[in-house]
Amino acid sequence: MSNCAGSRSTTITRALVDPTPGGGFGTLYGPNVTANGTVTTSEGLIAGDEYIAFEKGEGDSTRVTMMVQVPDSFSPTASCIITAPSSGSRGVYGAIATAGEWGLKHGCAVAFTDKGTGTGADDLQNNTVNLIRGERTDAAQAGDESNFTAPFRTPTGRHSMPQPPIASPSSTPTRSKIPKRTGARMCCARSNSPSRCWNEKFAGRGIAFDKRNTIVIASSVSNGGGASVRAVEHDDEHLIDGLAVGEPNVIRNSARNSRLCGGGGQPFAAHSRPLIDYTTLIDVFQGCASAAPANAGAPLNFAASTARCASLHAKGLLSSTTTNNQAAEAQEIVNKFGIQPEQNIVAPGYWFAFVHQAISVTYANAYGQFSVLDNLCNYSFGATNASGIPGPLAATNEAQIFGSSNGIPPTSGINLINNAAPGGPKEDRLSTADQDLDNALCLRSLAQGRDAVTGAPLDGTAARKAQRVEVGVEQIIASGNLRRIPSIFVRGTQ
């Protein structure tokens, strides 16, 4: 399905950066700042050619979006490629600011990919899906041109199921929101994709591009950076010449037993756990920890839950008897698990933004490759009204999913739903007084393979689900073999 049909394009750099003057936008970086750091009054539009296509992933069911942007400043005699897998579950344009801008400004072609984990929303009620450039259309009409269609539709194309009506890649067995083996292989394979398009574009000039005369640097951040790291490990053809990644979400197998030093040279033992282990623990305790007096001045601390503290105490997970002490105890649990105290000030803001709550759901679904029909821990995605009751997705939100959604609810009018809420399904944050602690504990149990309240081993269906999650985690553990290529990692502490 891959081809080199191209079009003229301009690129505006924005995503995963702080687009405000206070964050350095427009003075330290941004479209108007040249490659050498000169601040101009230009809009910064970069002219060139864009090639975009789907490629089938594992089992011929996954649509992996591949895109190559070639700036007009590209020099055939000094050819270079920057690979730019999008982070997390963002779409194919999600790495423009993290890797694409640098590459285009330096005259390199940029090979973008969503790794097969990009945003894809199948609206089961309105029966619409996205095409490769983001247009919404009827799922049956889209056919193979859809970037994601849920695999459990009826012959008519519609699927009868209770609200909420959104099926997403994280809640189906065909695509995932984490850098699985597929993402690494696709990132590696795309290192050679621009060469095919260039050989078409520059045909007749006596120029042929291959790994011997083209520099390839694998890059990006977060899950995109992790995919680039894994791509180097899978690079049997030696296509990649260098690696430059920021905060890559990657776990090296041998790192689990290594000894790290934290601030002041003190030993730091709580490290190198899978992200789902951290995020599900935070999902349980942060709502209470945000209420700690020490966190009172934290930015965006608007979602602290004294009811969450009380419920944690009632379940025996906190021993303190007053809200302030319970919150301080919850904060201590989070820090002892490996989150540095210096990070406490930003954690309430992440809780307010629903980061850990949503990621815990999407990662559990993705690692275990569960279907939305599995109703994992009673969660699903859907549009809701002001009272949190599921309903149809607004047409405006639906039209903007491709451009505005990062794949993690709440996003583009789509929220996380507690299907087991008293009185019927309801938006998760509004579903119970303690902000749905029971479902958070369900996810925590799956992540650690034992009951999050009693500590007892799981059995039956719960044990089998936890095993599926464990297998998914093991599949993305990195070897650390970077084939001796020059590598730069930029990251902070946990």
Other Cβ atoms less than 10 A from the Cβ of 34: the count is: 12
How far apart, in whole angstroms, are the C-alpha atoms of residue 478 and residue 318?
35
222 is an active site residue: yes
Q: What is the DSSP letter of 262?
A: -
Identify the helix (H) or strand (E) that includes residue 349. helix 347-352
Residue with token string 């020490």 = 294
Enumerate the β-bridge partners of residue 167.
122
* Host H or E run for residue 371: none
Which of 89, 195, 222, 290 is catalytic? The answer is 222
Q: How far apart are CA 168 and CA 379, in angstroms?
A: 12
Q: In sequence order, which residues have a C-beta less than 8 Å from that of residue 462 and are 6 or more positions away?
A: 445, 446
Q: How far is CA 24 from the centre of its chain?
A: 24
Angle at 263 between CA 261 and CA 267, to 5 degrees: 30
> What letter would DSSP give residue 130?
E
- Residue 24 dihedral angles phi and psi, to the nearest 5°: 95, 0
| Contact residues for 407 (Cβ-Cβ < 8 A; gap 6+) | 88, 89, 90, 91, 117, 118, 119, 168, 169, 170, 177, 362
Contact 228, 243 (CB under 8 A): yes
Residue 199: burial class (beta carbons within 10 Å; 0-12, 13-18, 19+): middle
Eight-class DSSP state of 446: H
Active site residues: 222
